[in-house]
Amino acid sequence: MNNIELANKVEELIPNKKQFKMKVLRNLHLDLYNEVLNKTGFLSEGSNLSLRIAFLKADLNGKKVCVICNKEHERIDSDYCCIKCYYSDSQSMKRRTSKVDQKAKVAKQKKTMLEKYGYETNSQRPEIKTILSKSKLEKSNPEALEKLLDREWLENEYSSKSSVEIAEELGVYYGTVTSYLSSHHGIEIKPHSNESSVERKIKEFLLSEFPDIVVESHDRNILSGKEIDIYIPEYKFAIEVNGLYWHSVSDTKKSNTNKHLEKTLGCLEKGISVIHITQEKWETKQELVKSMIRNHLGATPNRVFARKCEVRPITPSEYRIFCNNNHINGTAVASIKLGLFYKDELVQVMSFSKPRYNRHYEYELIRLCSAKNTSVVGGASRLFNHFLSLYTPKSILCYADRQYGEGNVYGKIGMTLKDTTPPGYRWTDGNSTFSRIEFQKHKLQAKLKNFDSNLSERENMLNNGYRMYFDCGNIVWEWTNTEKLT
């Protein structure tokens, strides 16, 4: 069977595009699955079925080669490995412009302008000249403009900060900062000046603790144009560094609310695990973030075996302090709090309560976390089984925050993946985030400088300069006591 015949046979076997996945093909027809893998073995390990079929249909037996830089790539619909090569190809430019009669286009534009406004170009119109003569910053952010025009201040700030950091402080786009640096003041732009300090510090941490690994920055090839901030190929592990101002939004278009989730899904399709770290988490829980990174790289320094530990109930104070120190999202209210102790030292916590959002279950697993820089082998299973033996529940559910992983540990302790939730949001002022519960409408009058009772919660918050930071949603895990149900 040749490549094209194989591709057509797979498409006939799985006509539903939503089910067009490698695992579905494996379950339906193992021989075809193996043949597809064999004939597209040159593609990345995590390549999806659609990409593999596209290469088979094109009858290609190897990766494509960029016509500009000769780099191999997997962009089946392009002769270029990246957008930079595409725009650097003079022949490509000719093809893009050859179909357009530029003279006729300009003549038509001038004729329309002349008929409509009495001038051939916008810049000739007196009212537009007045608008253009005033800086947008002068009207919208005069304080920022004053500082950007101060060469001494800007140069001093730029000596220790990136253009992104300065922009975040001033509330302007970072391109505005680089424009004033270079065009207005003649200050040379530093390489990677759009790299935030948090991103730089995380890379410094990685290179100091793991000097032999390769750390790539701002990769746009893996996700076909979408940027991955930090990527470690050897471990197929990515870190997204999200500044709260530039990664938050003031409207809820689907493209805005799903952008972090889409990065996560794109990485997972390539077999890459990814975590999202905000500047707030780095600044307030830096050691915990470092511990999470060490864990992803298999370098957790302390290793404890659950069989050598003792399970005991813990006090509300012990629970609160431990979660605040060792869980990325801090503590949460729970009625049942269990601790795992190694030589009288609390090394892992698991808590339960009545479900917060779904009353169809008897319990919700609220928190699971280990002490920083500590791997408790078999700890989650030990705690979970202890809970099952004490309370013999009918059903349990749990939410895994996809900003930090898929919650695979819950699968290992006997839970099954049930569903996913769409991204949720927290309010941000650009420096910190706040729960939506803190800003319910009936609480706003006491919190906001400018409050209008005729406006909604969202309108009031946006009018006061707050923005929405969207996460990646959750993975919903469940456990059901089949014996108790029967």
Tell me: pLDDT of 236 over 50: yes
The torsion angles phi and psi of 58, rounded to 5 degrees, stand at -80, 0
Q: Are the CB atoms for 258 and 267 separated by under 8 Å?
A: no
Comparing 255 with 322, which gets the higher pLDDT? Answer: 322
The number of CA neighbours under 13 Å toward the Cβ of 224 is 11
pLDDT of 103 reads 74
What percent of the chain has pLDDT above 90? Answer: 58
pLDDT of 67 reads 86
Comparing 472 with 226, which gets the higher pLDDT? Answer: 472
C-alpha to C-alpha distance for 123 and 131, rounded to whole angstroms: 10
SS in 3 state form for the chain?
CCHHHHHHHHHHHCCCHHHCCHHHHHHHCHHHHHHHHHHCCCCCCCCCHHHHHHHHHCCCCCCEECCCCCCEECCCCCCCCCHHHHHHCHHHHHHHHHCCCHHHHHHHHHHHHHHHHCCCCHHHCHHHHHHHHCCHHHHHCHHHHHHHHCHHHHHHHHCCCCHHHHHHHHCCCHHHHHHHHHHHCCCCCCCCCCCCHHHHHHHHHHHHHCCCCCCEEEEEEEECCEEEEEEEHHHCEEEEEECCCCCCECCCCHHHHCHHHHHHHHHHHCCCEEEEEEHHHHHHCHHHHHHHHHHHCCCCCEEEEHHHCEEEECCHHHHHHHHHHHCCCCCCCCCEEEEEEECCEEEEEEEEECCCCCCCCCEEEEEEEECCCEEEECHHHHHHHHHHHHHCCCEEEEEEECCCCCCHHHHHCCCEEEEECCCCEEEECCCCEECHHHHCHHHHHHHCCCCCCCCCHHHHHHHCCCEEEECCCEEEEEEECHHHHC
Strands 302-305, 310-313: pairing kind: unpaired
Residues 6+ apart with CB under 8 A from 101: none
C-alpha distances (whole Å) from 328 to each of 235, 325, 372, 403, 469 are 22, 8, 11, 10, 17
pLDDT of 323 reads 97
* Chain centre distance of CA 228: 9
Mean pLDDT of 23-30: 89
Report how far apart the first and last C-alpha atoms of the chain are (Å, whole number): 50
pLDDT of 486 reads 44
The torsion angles phi and psi of 121, rounded to 5 degrees, stand at -130, 160
Mean pLDDT of 312-324: 97
- Give pLDDT tens digits for 94-124: 555 555 566 777 788 888 888 877 878 766 6
Confidence grade of residue 420 (pLDDT, cut at 50, 70, 90)? very high
Give the closest residue to 56 by CA, choosing from 80, 72, 32, 79: 32
Which range is least confidently modeled, 53-67, 85-99, 186-200, 360-374?
A: 85-99
C-alpha to C-alpha distance for 469 and 333, rounded to whole angstroms: 23
Mean pLDDT of 238-263: 88
Tell me: pLDDT of 211 over 80: yes
Q: Are the CB atoms for 444 and 460 separated by under 8 Å?
A: yes
What percent of the chain has pLDDT above 70? Answer: 91
Mean pLDDT of 1-6: 91
Tell me: pLDDT of 267 over 70: yes
Which range is least confidently modeled, 46-60, 277-291, 306-320, 394-408?
A: 46-60
Tell me: pLDDT of 192 over 80: no
pLDDT of 110 reads 82
Confidence grade of residue 243 (pLDDT, cut at 50, 70, 90)? confident
In the chain, what are the domains?
Answer: 3-93 (no CATH), 104-184 (no CATH), 197-296 (3.40.960.10), 302-423+473-485 (3.40.630.30)
Sign of CA dihedral 134, 136, 139, 142: negative
What average pLDDT does the chain have? 88
- Give pLDDT tens digits for 386-419: 999 999 999 999 999 999 999 999 999 999 999 9
Q: Are the CB atoms for 376 and 347 separated by under 8 Å?
A: yes
- Give pLDDT tens digits for 442-480: 999 999 989 999 999 999 999 988 999 999 999 999 999
Q: What is the pTM of this model?
A: 0.65
Confidence grade of residue 87 (pLDDT, cut at 50, 70, 90)? low
pLDDT of 46 reads 81
pLDDT of 130 reads 46
Q: Are the CB atoms for 46 and 274 separated by under 8 Å?
A: no
C-alpha distances (whole Å) from 20 to each of 49, 251, 262, 311, 397 are 7, 33, 18, 45, 29
C-alpha to C-alpha distance for 63 and 56, rounded to whole angstroms: 11
Residue 366: CB atoms within 10 A of its CB come to: 24
Place of tokens 């839970």: 415
pLDDT of 299 reads 95
Place of tokens 């082998």: 377
Sign of CA dihedral 165, 170, 175, 177: negative
Q: Are the CB atoms for 33 and 26 separated by under 8 Å?
A: yes
The torsion angles phi and psi of 108, rounded to 5 degrees, stand at -65, -40
